[in-house]
Structure 1
Amino acid sequence: MKKTLLTVVLAFIGMATFAQKGTGFGIKGGLNYNQNGDLTYSVGDSGNDIVQGAEGKAGFNVGIFGQLELPIIYLRPELVYTNTKSSYDIDGGSRDYELSSLDLPVLVGIHILGPINIFAGPAFQYVLSNDMDGFEMEDVKNNFTVGLNLGVGINLGRLGLDVRWVRGFSENEANFIDENVTNISGRVDSRPNQVVFSASIKL
């Protein structure tokens, strides 16, 4: 898995360097509003699973990007550190689930009207850590996953603003147990489903 991540990062560096020779290279950051997938848990030996949907919470993202303008479209690879949060009601108490990841969106966009553009592309995610209040968490099932980015942006000189929807393609569960008396156990789908607001600056 580490070799896969290294290959992805090296590919990004190569693309970003190429883009720097063309149109631009810069930094970006912003806020995201995320809802992970369902959480399933049971209490004691009841054997009855309870399915709980997530309540979205705010997180953040920060990273770098390269952009290469082509005759009709543009290519924009990004390397982004992302922190997401969701909240679940477990046995009458609210618990926050937090996940940190290294994301590599590879976007293809088109300018549609003046400074306005639309874009889409795959997003490769490597999960760095996950944590939930009051529970002992196992690692997610797959550290490396693929999702989709779809969004719209506006360029104002060197400044860019965009909003996008980010969705993981498949479930990526992590198991958990109660840290204290182990009477609650279950699993949570860490797949992202988020709206991301970002600002970027070309250097």
Structure 2
Amino acid sequence: MNKALYLFFIGFLCFSVSHAQEFSFGIKGGPSYVMGGQITGRVGGGTDFAGTVEADSQFKYHGGGFFEIRFNKFLIRPEVIYSAMETEFQFPTQPSTYAVEKVSVPLLFGYNVWGPIDIYGGPAYQKILDASLEGNEPDQPVVVQNNPLAAQAGIKAAFGRFELDLRYDRTLASEEPYIINIVNGGNEGFGINTANFDDSRLNQILLSISFKIFDSAANPGRRKGGCYF
């Protein structure tokens, strides 16, 4: 199945490039504003914390690469993006960092609205590489999402070989609570014991600076048509 998808993707890019007016590829990266996470304590004793804590948003970072194909005012842009994401729970005795690392593969479709300005959107496949909640007992691992798909939409502006890109990345996973155990007592305790992880999904706003390593618009003598893969 993976091989078939890979061959389809390569074939699609070959067909697109052979019919494109322009194409470019490059690297990108920048800060991310990460949002999400909610935990509610479960009462098991007289001193157990039973409140609900929503995680505080945090700034982290992302980086990756892109390939863009343009047809007049329309564009197709597959990307690969690594994201380091964090939010923070303010538990009763000390804060706990909720950290997730993922790789996203969005396939974006865009339109040039004016001059250097493009708008775009599309689906993204997301692979969770690692997820942790500070103070969580290992017998109840963190589960970030039950669906690998997400949606992305944004706007970008080109300045020669550079681009400034602002987008919203939202997971399409559903809210699915589950039970976790958090270190409660002692110097390392967080003041919350058994709890419901009500919502472990994270969404983010990404601000990227992109650099075009190659841009066919800057190389008008390139060969027309054909596949470059």
TM class by smaller structure: 0.7 to 0.9
Deviation at 1:148, TM superposition (A): 1.4
Partner of 2:193: 184
- Give the distance between the partners of 1:49 and 1:124, measured in 2 at CA: 36
Unaligned runs of 5+ in 1: none
Supply the distance in 1 between the matched residues of 2:10 and 2:81 (Cα, whole angstroms): 13
Give percent identity, aligned residues only. Answer: 29
Instruction: Return the alpha-carbon distance in structure 1 between the equivalents of residues 178 and 130 of structure 2.
Output: 11
Q: Within the alignment, does 1:147 sit opposite 2:136 as a pair?
A: no
Deviation at 1:179, TM superposition (A): 4.3
Corresponding residue of 1:196: 206
Q: Distance in 2 between matches of 1:90 and 1:8?
A: 44
Match of 2:175 in 1: 171
Which residue pairs with 2:135 in the alignment?
Answer: 134
1:159/1:171 CA distance change after superposition, 3 Å = same
Q: Summarize the alignment of residues 79-98 of structure 1 with structure 2, pairs less than 5 Å apart.
A: 79-98=80-99
Q: Is the 8 A contact 1:12 1:79 kept in 2?
A: no
Q: Distance in 1 between matches of 2:30 and 2:12?
A: 23
User: How much is the aligned-residue C-alpha RMSD, in angstroms?
Assistant: 3.0
Inter-CA distance 53–33: structure 2 relative to 1 (3 Å threshold): same
CA contact (8 A) 2:144 2:201 kept: no
Work out the CA distance in 2 between the residues paired with 1:112 and 1:34: 28
Residue equivalent to 1:23: 23
Contact 1:41 1:51 in 2 (8 A): yes
CA deviations on 1:106-148 (whole Å, 9 max, x unpaired) are 1111111111111111122111111122223614164652121
Question: Any idea what SS the aligned residue of 1:28 has?
Answer: strand
> Separation in 1 of the partners of 2:36 and 2:178?
12
Report which stretch shifted further, 40-49 or 142-151. Answer: 40-49
Query: TM-score of the superposition, structure 2-length normalised?
Result: 0.74
Gaps of 5+ in 2: 214-229
Question: Which has more strand, going by share of residues?
Answer: 1
